[in-house]
Structure 1
Amino acid sequence: MQKFSILWVSALVLLIGGCSSKHYSISEPKIITIKSPKLKFSDMGYVRREGDAVEVELFTAGVAVEKISIDSQVCVSSGCMSEEKFVHDYLYEGYPADTMRNIISGKDIFGGQGKSEMCNGTLYQYIRNEDIDFVYRRKPSEIYFKDRLNGIMIKIADVKENNATE
């Protein structure tokens, strides 16, 4: 009987403390579109941030269908991997490892190469060579990244911006 009690107490401790998820200080509802060779999604989602850690939770018809958590590793429904492997497998092998993290966070990519600021405060990056042809635009209500050569598009927009009734 004592072994049985110890087993239940151990299981309870693991459930309560050992499997706790990360708590994010910023959690924002967004309209998220991701089109890449391995991911195709366009619907409601949440972008969460805490320091350098970011998470995108994707919903379809109100049901969570995928979560991309980026901290020391990138975790998706199929498992965890390094940022470099994630970018190689899900985006394009020629991108820097921090590309997805920086796009979700609205930070410079490719070390700020090709960056300019428009008169309305929109930040813009454009790089074109034989391997990539991308435009990356950031403004307070929207993040937009499109690489025409590699068939990748990521758009993260405020929900209010896309709601015609408000």
Structure 2
Amino acid sequence: MQKFFILWVSILLILITGCSTKHYQFSEPKIITLKTPKLKFADTGYIRHDETSVEVELFTAGVAVEKISIDSLVCVSNGCMSEEAFVKEYLYPDYPADTMRNIVLGKDIFAGRGKEEMCDGRLFQFIRNDEMDIIYRRGKGEIYFKDRLNSLIIRINDLDTNQSLP
């Protein structure tokens, strides 16, 4: 009798909660290039986000190959970890914990340090010291992050934007 009760409760929970996936307010197809110590990717993808969560889904030849979900934890195919641990492992240990989230969303990094606005409306940040040499620009359908000292590149372009590589 107890087994049937557990079975019915399980079925009821599945029906109530379902196999739901998160629904984001914004979902945009992009051309994404990632060159980090653990991620090498250059193809199309989707960036989805709402007020608290961000998801980057990467495709190669139309097949989903990786998903990076940033919420209270950052989840990739290898498992979930804190944002700080993700940035240390996948980017560079001295970056702030919110660096990946802010790049994907096109927001200021490093609390806006070295920020300049160009006359065409694009925003630039230059951050240089002994451990990093970062240029970060965004605007006009492009997000471009490059750290020359640590060999990192993150580039996100709108699908309809035809821009040449720097």
Same fold (TM over 0.5): yes
Q: Deviation at 1:105?
A: 0.5
Change (3 A) 1:16 1:156: farther
Aligned to 1:100: 100
The answer on 1:150 being equivalent to 2:150 is: yes
Paired amino acid for 1:107: K
Cα deviation, 1:52-85, whole Å, max 9, x if unaligned, reads: 3111000011110100011111011111100000
Instruction: Report the 3-state secondary structure (helix = DSSP H, G, I; strand = E; otherwise coil) of the residue aligned with 2:161.
Output: helix
Q: Structure 2 unaligned segments of length 5 or more: list them.
A: none
> Partners in 2 of 1:18 and 1:140 — Cα distance?
40
Tell me the CA shift for residue 27 of structure 1: 0.1
| TM-score calculated relative to the size of structure 1 | 0.91
> Per-residue CA shift, 1:117-146, capped at 9, x if unaligned?
011000000011100001000003010000
Superposition pairs for residues 1-166 of structure 1, below 5 Å?
3-4=3-4, 6-7=6-7, 10-11=10-11, 13-14=13-14, 17=17, 19-162=19-162
% identical aligned pairs: 69
SS at match of 1:57: strand
State how many pairs are aligned: 163
AA aligned to 2:58 is L
Between the aligned partners of 1:75 and 1:11, the Cα distance in structure 2 is 27
